Amino acid sequence: MSAFKVRVQEENFNCEEETKSLSANRKDIGAIVSFTGLCRDENQTLAALELEHFPGMAEKQISFYCQQAVERWPLTGLTVIHRFGKIPAGEQIVLVIACSAHRRAAFEAADFLMDFLKTKAPFWKKEHFLDGQTGGWVEAKQEDEEDTKRWQ
């Protein structure tokens, strides 16, 4: 397979629909791994994250890493959706679905893509708190940078 689907959008997505569009009427898929990233608020202070992105470059970067994934693993389907705009706590931000005949390829491809989305896709997150205050920009984590090195 060399095809994959990349969408950068403001509106929400539906994991079930996206999964169906990859797997309906097919019998060559043995494993589907889906990753959903949510807007998390552990301290009960966050109202939303505002995701700023670089239109055009975001799609290009995500597509670049999708291309790497389909060359590296024998995938039978791959979809990546990344939202931008203001996303309330608890809502979905990102979706990666990887399909393959075998589970290892599907797990690794989804894991790989998430590592590179974290550090190489041009998105930035600003915090909006429940008390109406605007927080800072979420800082990049060294840990995420380290994670990408696993794939070298």
Decide: is 8 part of the binding site for a second copy (CB under 8 A): no
> Which of 103, 104, 146, 150 lies at the binding interface for other proteins (CB under 8 A)?
103
b vs e for 38-65, b when ≥16 Cβ sit within 10 Å of the residue's Cβ?
Answer: ebebeeeebbbbbbebeeeebbebbeeb
Decide: is 10 part of the binding site for other proteins (CB under 8 A): no
Q: Which residues contact 127 (CB under 8 A, 6 or more apart)?
A: 46, 49, 50, 134, 135, 136, 137, 138
Site string for a second copy, 78-97 (x = CB under 8 A): -----------xx-------
Q: For residue 144, what are the CA distances in angstroms to 20, 58, 139, 141?
A: 30, 18, 11, 5
Decide: is 118 part of the binding site for other proteins (CB under 8 A): yes
Number of residues that bind other proteins (CB under 8 A): 28
Which one of a second copy, other proteins, none is in contact with 129 (Cβ closer than 5 to 8 A by kind)?
none
φ, ψ for residue 79, nearest 5 deg: -135, 135
The residues binding other proteins (CB under 8 A) are: 37, 52-54, 56-58, 60, 82, 93-94, 103, 114, 117-126, 136-140
The residues binding a second copy (CB under 8 A) are: 14-16, 19, 23, 25-42, 44, 46, 89-90, 101, 103-104, 106-107, 110-111, 114, 147
